[in-house]
Chains A and B, each alone.
Chain A
Amino acid sequence: MTGAEGSLLSFLDAPVIVGDPEGGAVYVNPAFQARFAVTAETARGRSLAELFSGGSREAVLQAVAEVCEHGESVRFRVRERGVGFAAVASPIVAEAARVGVVILLKEEVEGVERLLSLHREIQDPIEELSHSLQMLLDQTGGRRDSRYRSLVEGSVRALARLRRWSEELRVVLSGAPDPILESARFDPGEVVRRVAERALRRIGKAQTAVELLAATSLPAVRGDEARLESVLMRIVEDRLEQEPSPSAIFIGARSAGTGTGAAVLVSVTAHWRNGGCTALPSEPPVLQESIAALGADLHTTIDPELGRTTLLRLPVDAP
């Protein structure tokens, strides 16, 4: 490869790799090095296929063999580290009229998937911020008239709103037209287990106990699993934000009914010590809409002495 060719390839954003007639790597441009975590030195001399993993190796080998045999360009697809690439392998005339291979890769961006992935990454800094604010709040002591404290408390409330909107964004993204997601069969037990784990992390140093009341095997239901998890988490957070906070939160799932009336009842129950459960607002309209979109019936029961339970009834999906 000439110096001019090499410097041209180094400017490309797309990963490029050049192979010799024996299928060994001769050159990888900076974009390839960054994307595939190799250096020019470690790549040189290795088989082209070895720079890829799993099923992609076969695809690369196949493409290289075809280019070598027929002397024509070949299109193919590879997947590396969860990202899809559309690739083209073309012949390149090397010294002594021998034919080498140049492969160019173009990343396939998957819209909603990418946004959901970004949403997941956003959760980490949100959790860190929450933890830091909580520490700051603890350090201000019991000075209620402190302007500093009120600033921190305001930040905590704003963070709570950010978290809620982040979840709604996720609900919207998950609810983007995807008939496969919306009608998928899933285990509601797995959902409540995840919600309980998240609730435990969310509570931190608060005095609220979290309990999971669900058997290990429950009938499967059909619907949007991500939306259900989001709805339940939203309800848990609403309860935690009540003043005073509940003494215990129970996340439950159990079977009810048989035959065509069989259902799974998923619930979030909050207890308050000393009858702290006074008149509480009903679920916000956005949440009610989400629940309706799940195909679930919603019911809230409030007892001044026992607490509040929000129940979702999900019809069992017949096998």
Chain B
Amino acid sequence: MRYIEHDAVVKRMNSRMVVNKVFKGFFIFATSLALLALVILLYRIVTQGAGHLSIDFLTNFASRFPEKAGIKAALIGSIWLMAVVAPTSIILGVGSAVYLEEYAKKSRLTTFIQTNIANLAGVPSVVFGLLGLTIFVRTLSLGNSILAAGFTMSLLILPVIIVAAQEAIRSVPKELRDASYGMGATKWQTIVKIILPAAIPGVLTGSILALSRAIGETAPLIVIGIPVIIQFLPKGVMDTFTALPMQIYDWSSRPQQEFQMVAAAGIIILMAFLIIMNSIAVAIRNKYDKRY
């Protein structure tokens, strides 16, 4: 007795092939739609903003006249912000990930912490803004400084970095740990010399994605009261500042048509900033990428 009737299989072959093709088409369509949206967006921004891009645009402060408006304060402000956010969030994030993966014993408490870190990654950024306002701006009296904004942004992206770093650490083969411990290395030596170097590509990919998010976030900055128009550059982390997305948000909400162009030019600068950051990440990742 045979269960597969080959004649029937051949008969049904046509409809199977049709279904096969239909779904292939659908997947191509889905990808193209996303690509198309991106292309339209880029085209619109570049055609609108390119005309306004100039050295003056980079070196001028904000102005009520669109032709004089520049992005200097926001650009430098965003660099300052990143200078606080990157070390704070990466050191704390990788530290937490190392603790959770290498030190913490599996218990109900660690499972609970684990679940909550994953959940925190989904909390809206405006909520983190309120948290930053309460803790850093008011309780610690940091005011609307770079430090307060940087810490708030660090809190916002910390969960993402922790989860990414944990995954990177977990993917380091157990055999490498065994080899290191087997020679009498301490846990710290094993972490520093074996685990972290092997985990760096994954940690960096996650961190840069998270930092890219921080650089584009506006809501937490608005909540902690970061000003939009500033006519000076910050001299230290305790000074106030403004950031690229704040500036762009302000320009695009102005009634004059010309400011839309200025906003588009600001977006080009923001995207260039992101591309530079991502390239650095890719470069470092390629340097450290080793197969096991």
Q: Verify that A and B bind, or say they do not.
A: no
Chain B residues at the A interface, C-beta cutoff of 8 Å: none
